[in-house]
Amino acid sequence: MDSIGISAAQINWNGGQRITLGSGDVATCTTLRPGQLYGVFIYNSAGNDNNADVNLVWSNSQPPCQMTIPGTTANAGLASIGFVSGTDTQTISLSVPPNSGIAQVEAWIGSVSMPTNTAGLNNQPLPANGEQVPFNKYTRYYAVPPSKWMKLTIVSTINQFISCQFRQDKAVVFVVNETSNGLLSGQVQCMGPTAKEQGVVNITTSSTQSINENLQGDGSQWVWIDADSPQDSKTASIALQSL
């Protein structure tokens, strides 16, 4: 029992789906695949300004990764992201400690193949026609670019718009219109030796209202996921253009 007398939930998270966790709740995923990098996206959804502490367990022989998800009113905060490789573990669990009161977080698992259960997310293909399309909270775009050069463009008129790109065993965190403070401490964390290797998780920033990135397709899937708040995402857009 947690501090308010409600039975804690044990959640099957094998689909990587969007879930809500409260005090004492634990979600476990046992389907991570070797050679693939995953991001656990976590929002504080309690609707108050109290921080929420969570534990991400990826190994029985290593201590949990402890993350503090900043509190925010009206569910308006940014996501925190924990990266882990399926090469290091097939199983991860996310939990909110017992006796956490009214703490509550939303979470899902992102990668080129996750979540397989996209309920609660806007999951759709990103057309390679150069058209800017909305990049809202809870949005996941995917594409399989051909073996040629492409240009990715992410635009936001709001400071510090954050999103994430996945390509099999690598990820890039894009920060558009970066502020002088940069990312919050602990907002992006890597767990395990593979995710911590140089070049596996990169952060790309711009001091302007857009980021342009050239990429070359090879017939594999690419994925882009919004990691920002609703208000920061209102004017955000993303485009993929064939060159």
Q: Is residue 178 part of a domain?
A: yes
- The confidence band for 113, taking pLDDT boundaries of 50, 70 and 90, is very high
Quick one: 90 and 130 in the same domain? no
At 230, which CATH number?
Answer: 2.60.120
Contacts of residue 63, defined as CB under 8 A and 6 or more positions apart, other chains included, come to none
Quick one: 72 and 133 in the same domain? no
Sign of CA dihedral 66, 116, 167, 225: negative
Quick one: 126 and 238 in the same domain? yes
**At 5, which amino acid appears?**
G
Q: Is residue 37 part of a domain?
A: yes
Which of 60, 83, 110 is the endpoint of a domain? 110
User: How crowded is residue 153: how many other Cβ atoms within 10 Å of its Cβ?
Assistant: 15
pTM of the model: 0.92
Quick one: 67 and 127 in the same domain? no
CA atoms of 198 and 119, how far apart (whole Å): 33
Quick one: 165 and 97 in the same domain? no
CB 205 within 8 A of CB 236: no
Quick one: 135 and 101 in the same domain? no
Contacts of residue 198, defined as CB under 8 A and 6 or more positions apart, other chains included, come to none
Q: Which residues pair with 211 in a beta bridge?
A: 154
Q: What's the mean per-residue pLDDT of the chain?
A: 91
At 64, which CATH number?
Answer: 2.60.120.260
CA atoms of 169 and 182, how far apart (whole Å): 25
Q: Is residue 67 part of a domain?
A: yes
**At 153, which amino acid appears?**
T
* Of 182 and 239, more confident: 239
Our count of domains for the chain comes to 2
Q: Is residue 66 part of a domain?
A: yes
Phi and psi dihedrals of 31, rounded to 5?
A: -120, 20
**At 188, which amino acid appears?**
V
Question: Which residue bears the tokens 């996941």?
Answer: 140
Quick one: 235 and 151 in the same domain? yes
Q: What is the pLDDT of residues 75-95, one digit of tens each?
A: 667 899 999 999 999 999 999
Which of 84, 110, 136 is the endpoint of a domain? 110
Quick one: 128 and 101 in the same domain? no
The range of the structural domain enclosing residue 91 comes to: 10-110
CA atoms of 91 and 134, how far apart (whole Å): 33
- The confidence band for 72, taking pLDDT boundaries of 50, 70 and 90, is confident
Q: Quote the DSSP letter at residue 129.
A: B
